Structure 1
Amino acid sequence: MEVKSTYKFARISAKKARDVAREIQGLPVSAAIDALTFTPKKAAFLIGKTLKSAIANAENNFELDADDLYVKEAVIGEGPTFRRFKPRARGSAGAIRKRTSHIFITLAPKAEA
């Protein structure tokens, strides 16, 4: 049985978050939390929140033991881009794209692996 958790509209670009997500794929849950705790990036904090939410979903909704879970996949999708404009030279405007992302984490018991 797979357990999923989603964090939508995270205020970080998908490109930056994917680097951190690749590090935890396939790891046991305890090792993934340790890796995220000691990774000094904003994406690690946001992915850690989503991972802890997935663990809570597994324990409370599906009555699974957290020690038997591993990160089956951690996917970062692109969310909508907020467009802002900054004044530039000679009366023009420069676009500033504030990118967002959607974080999807799937956990599965080790017995399925």
Structure 2
Amino acid sequence: METRAYLKGTRLSAQKAGLVADVVRGKSVHAAMDFLSFHKQKASAVIKKLLESAIANAENNDKADIDLLIVKSVIVNQGMRLKRMKPRARGRADRIIKPTCHIEIILSEQEK
């Protein structure tokens, strides 16, 4: 039994979100929540909220036992890039690229 939760188009770099996702992958749900609660990167707050959503999906839709859930995989992909212009001296302008990413969390139950 697998439960999924998606977050698309969040204003994070895929590289920075991937660093947090690598730590959480493969851990139990409780250990992952503890790590994300005390980690101070922006990506950890976003992934924690998504993990809470995945836990709620597993509990309500699949009637899963929360104590047996593990984070099977966390997939982080690049999203659309927002292109902006920043005015500079002498009438020029620089291009600012604001990255987005898509995050997917898959939870599964451990074998007893």
Do the two structures share a fold, i.e. TM-score over 0.5? yes
Residue of structure 2 equivalent to 1:14:
14
Deviation at 1:75, TM superposition (A): 1.0
* Inter-partner Cα distance in structure 1 for 2:50 and 2:78: 16
Cα deviation digits, residues 44-67 of structure 1 (max 9, x gap): 000001100000000000000111
* Inter-partner Cα distance in structure 2 for 1:10 and 1:111: 33
Residue of structure 1 equivalent to 2:3:
3
Q: Percent of counterpart pairs with the same letter?
A: 46
Residue of structure 1 equivalent to 2:94:
94
Residue of structure 1 equivalent to 2:103:
103
* Inter-partner Cα distance in structure 1 for 2:78 and 2:12: 10
Cα deviation digits, residues 32-91 of structure 1 (max 9, x gap): 000100101110000001100000000000000111100000111111011100112332
Question: Normalization by structure 2: what TM-score?
Answer: 0.96
Deviation at 1:93, TM superposition (A): 1.4
Q: Can you give the 5+ residue segments of structure 1 that lack an aligned partner in the other structure?
A: none
Q: Can you give the 5+ residue segments of structure 2 that lack an aligned partner in the other structure?
A: none
| Further displaced range: 44-53 or 103-112 | 103-112
- Residues 24-103 of structure 1: pairs in structure 2 closer than 5 A: 24-103=24-103
> Which one-letter code corresponds to 1:28 in the other structure?
S
* Inter-partner Cα distance in structure 2 for 1:27 and 1:104: 15
> Which one-letter code corresponds to 2:6 in the other structure?
T
Question: Normalization by structure 1: what TM-score?
Answer: 0.95
RMSD: 1.1
